[in-house]
Amino acid sequence: MKNFFKIIAVTFVILICLYVYARFIEPNMLNVHYENISNKLISDTTPSIKILQFSDTHLSEFFDIVDLEKVVNKINAENPDIVIFSGDLIDHYKKYSYTSDISQISEMLGKIKASLGKFSVYGNHDYGGGAEKVYSEIMEKGGFVNLVNSSIKLENYNLNIIGLDDSIFGNVDIEKLNENLDEDFYNIVISHEPDVINLMLDYNIDLFLSGHSHGGQVQIPFLKTSILPPLAEKYTRGLYEFENYRGTKLYVNIGIGTSQVPFRFMAVPELSVLMLKN
């Protein structure tokens, strides 16, 4: 009987520790993940081009402007050339406590420094609750170019950056994507949802950047599956390489914030740094 109560007590302590870790510790961690990518289409006029991607901040009562400031400071510490935000800025716009003063978000994003530009795309949460127009305004006032089935070329570096509309609530225009791609440039496509890449592997895409999955957000040990959002069930985290004629690479960022529940377990928030060189 004593052993039974000991087991109960130990189990209870372990559960409390897991709760504290998943609720208060891991969500407040922030890793920086580095990848080196080489391609002959990238200009050799500079030793390397540093792209920093962040995603899925999900601003809410669980991740506020103070938390965002910590992320901004860590981004600037990396001294990136290009910064990319791959969607889902505010978790639920209608429930967001500071909708009356969203300028503070723009001001914080405006502190991010990137010598070659800052670019963003819509995520599914950027459409809900009346956030569609507000999101674009926030990003643009924060110095980001919000790409919606559109592109921008950095001619001096032979880079072509294309942003797709959100695949769930937006309107992804495949024909427009094909028009925006340039086979003589290194083509970087930003899409909030990663799984849509399977529809585009015949196109001239060199690098595909996504978020949305949260890396599973809560990974249960010994379970092979985790709860994943639609269009992020096949590609969930990290770098994937395809054996198509373009040798396309996909990077899925684990994201920063949380959604549905304010927990993270075995899915530490991250910034991804991609070093491009010829």
* Nearest-angstrom CA–CA distance, 127 and 169: 7
Q: Cα angle vertex 128, ends 125, 129, to 5°?
A: 130
* Nearest-angstrom CA–CA distance, 228 and 52: 24
Q: Residue-wise pLDDT tens for the chain (278 aa)?
A: 667 667 787 778 888 898 889 989 999 999 999 999 999 999 988 899 999 999 999 999 999 999 999 999 999 999 999 999 999 999 999 888 777 778 999 999 999 999 999 999 999 999 987 798 899 999 999 999 999 999 999 999 999 999 999 999 999 999 999 999 999 999 999 999 999 999 999 999 999 999 999 999 988 776 665 679 999 999 999 999 999 999 999 999 999 999 989 999 999 999 999 999 99
| Backbone dihedral angles phi then psi of residue 3, each to the nearest 5 degrees | -60, -35
Q: Are strands 49-54 and 150-154 parallel, antiparallel or unpaired?
A: unpaired
Judge whether 124 and 168 are in contact, CB under 8 Å. yes
What token pair was written down for 211?
């978020």
**Residue 86 DSSP SS3:** coil
Identify each DSSP E strand in 157-258 by its residue range: 159-163, 186-190, 207-210, 238-241, 249-252
* Nearest-angstrom CA–CA distance, 99 and 89: 13
Residue 225, CB half-sphere, CA atoms under 13 Å: how many?
Answer: 6
Tell me if the pTM is above 0.85: yes
Domains and CATH numbers, the chain: 2-277 (3.60.21)
What token pair was written down for 108?
């914080």
* Nearest-angstrom CA–CA distance, 107 and 14: 42
Question: Looking at residue 197, what DSSP letter applies?
Answer: G
